[in-house]
Structure 1
Amino acid sequence: MKLKALFTLFLSLALWQAQAQIATYDKIETSKGPLVIQPIQHASMVLTWDNKTIYVDPTGGAKAYAGTKAPDLVLITDIHGDHLDVATLDSIKLDSAVLVVPQAVADKLPSKYKAQVVVMKNGQNSTQLNIPIQAVAMYNLPETADAKHPKGRGNGYILQLGDKRVYIAGDTEDIPEMRALQHIDVAFVPMNLPYTMDINQAASGVLAFKPKVVYPYHYRGQNGFSDVEAFKKAVESKNKNIAVRLLTWYPDKATKQ
C-alpha cells in the first residue's frame, strides 16, 4: 500500500509540474518597464507595456477580453477568421485605438473604422503611440497561385518596445525574410500544418535568426495540436542561448497541449 501511495504521489507531482510549465502569461523586462504577454487563443494575444495595451489579431468575442483594458493599439496580420474577426472588433471598446493592418484587411473593415486605420505593406515602417513598428513578410512556401498565404497580402510585425525587439510572425513558413532577421529579443512563431509549418521547419527558422526568447503560438492544425514540447527540445538542444517558453494558447484544451 505504501508503494502504491508513493507512486500516486509521484504521478500527481509529475502532472502538476507539467501543467505548471504551461503558464497563462509571461513577463519580459525592458528598459521602460515590463512587457506582459497574455495569450487569448491561437493567434490572439494582449501585450501590455509602458501603460499601453496592444491587441494582436483579436478574436473570441468580448468575453475573451473580460478584465483586460481596452486597446490603445490593434495589430491585425491577415484576412482569415482566426486573425480578422469583425464581430470581436465590434464587441470591444476601440474608440481611441489605432488599427495597424495590411491593405487586404483594411478592405474588409467596416467604414466606421477607416479613420483609425494605418495601412502598412511588407517592408514599411511606422511609429504609432511612440512605438516603432515594422511590417515584415509572411507567406507560404513554395509560392504558388493557390497558396493559403500569398506573399504581400499579410503582415508580420516587429515592435520596438524599449530596448526589446518583438517579432510577431503571423501565418508564415521559415521564409528567407524570417531567417535573415537580426537582433530579435522576443518572437512568436506559428507551427501548424497545412497553414504554416511543422515543428521542424519552425525550429530551423528560429535557429537561423536566434531570438533570445521564442513562444510557439498558432499551433492547432487540421490534425490537432503540434508537439510544442518537441519544438522546445529541438531548439534548446542546439542553441542553449534561445529560451522556448510555453504558454496557454488553448485554454479550453489545456490538457491536450
Structure 2
Amino acid sequence: MKKKKLLILLLTFSLSFACKDVKKSGDEIDSTIENSEHTAETNKALKTKGEEIKIVPIEHATVILEWGDVTIYIDPTGGPTAFENQKKPDLILITDIHGDHFNMETLEAIDISQARFILPQAVADEMPDKFSKKLEILTNGDSKEFDGILIEAIPMYNLREEAKAFHVKGRGNGYILTINGQRIYFSGDTEDIPEMRSLKNIDKAFVCMNLPYTMTVESAASAVLDFKPKQVYPYHYRGRPDVSDVGMFKKLVDAGNQDIEVVQLDWYPNDEY
C-alpha cells in the first residue's frame, strides 16, 4: 500500500514538471511570435526611414516632398489641376499670408482629409473655423515633430527699408525639416537675414530671389556661400515683371564654393509668372 502511494506521488510530481515544461514551451512560442512581429514592424520602420526623399516642384514657391508613406505640401497654390495625380498630403506647411503661399481656393479644392497644417499665427487667423482642429501654430523659434519629421520654424523678413512692409519680422515662417537625417531648408519670402546666414548643417536649401519682394541674386548667393548647404535649389525667382537670373546665381555660387551643388528644377511649367 505504501509502495502504491509512493508511486502515485512520483507520477504526480513528474506530471507537474511536465506541465511546467509544456507551459514554458508555449510561452517560448508566444514570445517567438511576438518577437517576430516586432522584428517585422522594426524592419518596416527601417525600410521607411531608408526611403529617398522625392522632390516634386509644382510652381514658384509650391513644392511636394515625399518620404516613404509621408507626403508634405509646402505652400500649396495653383488650384486642383496643379495637384492632379499627386498623393494627398499628410502635412501642409504654409509660410505666409500672401497669395503665392496661402491660397484658400486651392486648399478647399484638394483632398486634405488626412492632413495636418503647420503655419504661423497670421495664416491661422485667416483660416476658416472648420479647419481649426487641423492647425498646428508655430512661431519663429518653435519646433515640433510630426510623423517622424522634425519641423523648425525660423524667421523670414525683409531688410531693405523700401521692402520692410512686404514681410515684417515674426509674421511668417521659414522652415527646416529634418527627414531621414537630412536637414531641408525652405526660405519662404525673405532677404539674406542673419538667421539664414548662420544656418548649420543644411543638406538641401530652397532659396528665394525675386524683386521687389525678397532679395537679389547677389544677396541670395552671398547668403548661401555663408551657410554652405550641400545643395541649393533656387526657387521663387520670378517677380512682376522681372525674372531673376538663376544662371548668374549658379555662377556666383560656383565661383565661391564648388562643393555646393546648384540644382535647377522647373518651377514655371506654365510660364505664368
- By the TM > 0.5 criterion, same fold? yes
1:62 to 62, 66, 80: 80
Confirm or deny that 1:175 pairs with 2:190.
no
| TM-score for both structures, normalised by structure 1 | 0.85
Per mean C-alpha deviation after superposition, the further-off stretch among 156-165 and 142-151 is: 142-151
Structure with the bigger percentage of strand: 1
- In structure 1, runs of 5+ residues without a counterpart are 1-29
TM superposition outliers: structure 1 runs of 4+ over 4 Å: 143-146
1:109 matches 2:109: no
CA distance in 2, matches of 1:188, 1:89: 22
- Please give the residue correspondences for 1:1-257 in structure 2 after superposition, counting only pairs within 5 Å: 32-142=50-160, 147-253=165-271
- The Cα of 1:145 is off from its aligned counterpart by 9.4
The secondary structure found in structure 2 opposite 1:147 is coil
Q: Kindly, what percent of the aligned residue pairs are identical?
A: 53
Residue 222 of structure 1 and its aligned partner are, at CA, apart by 2.1
Q: CA deviation at 1:128?
A: 1.2
Supply the AA of the counterpart residue of 2:77.
T
- In 1, distance between residues paired with 2:162 and 2:155? 16
Letter in 1 for 2:113: D
SS at match of 2:251: helix
SS class of match (2:270): helix
Equivalent-residue separation in structure 2 for 1:177 and 1:245 (angstroms): 23
Task: Provide the alpha-carbon RMSD of the alignment.
Answer: 1.7
- Structure 2 gap segments, 5+ residues each: 1-47
Q: State the aligned residue count.
A: 226
Note the alpha carbon deviations across 1:14-70, whole angstroms, 9 max, x for none. xxxxxxxxxxxxxxxx96221111110100011111211100000000100000010
Q: Residue 196 of structure 1: CA displacement?
A: 0.4
Q: Which has the higher contact order (CA 8 A, sep 6+)?
A: 1
- The residue type equivalent to 1:150 in the other structure is V
What is the rounded CA distance, in whole Å, between the counterparts of 1:195 and 1:146 in structure 2?
A: 9
Q: Which amino acid aligns with 1:81?
A: G
Select the structure that is richer in helix: 2
Larger Rg over CA atoms: 2
